[in-house]
Amino acid sequence: MTAKASGTEFTDGSAQMTAADGAGPAPVRIVVAYGFWIFLLSDIIMFSALFATYAVMSGRTAGGPGPQDLFELRSVAIETLCLLLSSYTCGLGLLAVERRRMTYFYLSFGLTFALGAAFLGLEIAEFARMTGMGAGPSRRAFLSSFFSLVGLHGVHISVGLIWIVFITAQVAVRGPRDFVLRRLRCFSLFWHALDIIWIALLSLVYLAGVSA
């Protein structure tokens, strides 16, 4: 991966790919971030299939309750706020650990975990409420696609919460070394990507569904 060598001539065709201007291969940190970025994009493509399914199915309520009757925008607004704030604290935590301010790091990542858990709790409560109303995932095509789309995002959040615990423990045990910092940056990319998916979810599913 010679991201820094783009636009320069190679002295020979060797596999080492050292640029003529002496820039050398890209730092490991750039290469790792690029690989993880590819994974995130593939994850987003997987979500796009579910988004397309929901867009097709959202009108097929078979005369039953639709988005207007089922969604509560107040809890959705709180969920959005939790997720945006947790993304912010996650970024601040990353900056703190890069400057070796460990107290701020633990504080920020503790907040990130708490806000993510609050989001997940609200979402589970919403799912329970809908299932209790008789609008479970097996009821209609609209509800099946809704639960798989929003549920998959919730599963990603759960994985992220487990990841926060492990990565924080790793920082505590191994210290802020280079490889730990690279994993932290991967985690922060993952957490920010979940935000991007949530924005699409919020607009397509909730706000377009419950418009005035």
Partner 1 sequence: MTNSGSKSTTADRAPGADDEAPSGSIASYTVGFVFALLLTGASFLVSQSHLLWAPGLPVGLAVLAIAQMGVHLVFFFHLSSGPDNTNNVLALAFGVLIVALVVSGSLWIMSNLDLNMMPSSVIMEMRH
- Only one residue has tokens 């409560």, namely 125
Under the binding rule (CB under 8 A), the answer on residue 167 touching partner 1 is: no
Under the binding rule (CB under 8 A), the answer on residue 38 touching partner 1 is: yes
Choose among 210, 196, 209: nearest CA to 47. Answer: 196
Among positions 47-76, residues that touch partner 1 (CB under 8 A) are: 48-49, 51-53, 55-56, 73
Give the sign of the dihedral formed by CA 83, CA 89, CA 93, CA 95: positive
Under the binding rule (CB under 8 A), the answer on residue 95 touching partner 1 is: yes
Choose among 16, 14, 35, 17: nearest CA to 6. Answer: 17
Q: Compute the distance between CA of residue 168 and CA of residue 171 in angstroms, rounded to an integer.
A: 5
Size of the site for partner 1 (CB under 8 A): 61
Q: Compute the distance between CA of residue 87 and CA of residue 121 in angstroms, rounded to an integer.
A: 17
Q: Which stretch binds partner 1 (CB under 8 A): 39-47, 117-125, 142-150, 156-164?
A: 39-47
Q: Which residues pair with 10 in a beta bridge?
A: 19
Under the binding rule (CB under 8 A), the answer on residue 127 touching partner 1 is: no
Per CB under 8 A, residues contacting partner 1 are: 1, 3-4, 6-7, 23-30, 33-34, 37-38, 41-42, 44-45, 48-49, 51-53, 55-56, 73, 77, 80, 84-85, 87-88, 91-92, 94-95, 98-100, 178, 181-182, 185, 188-189, 192, 195-196, 199-200, 202-204, 207-208, 210-212
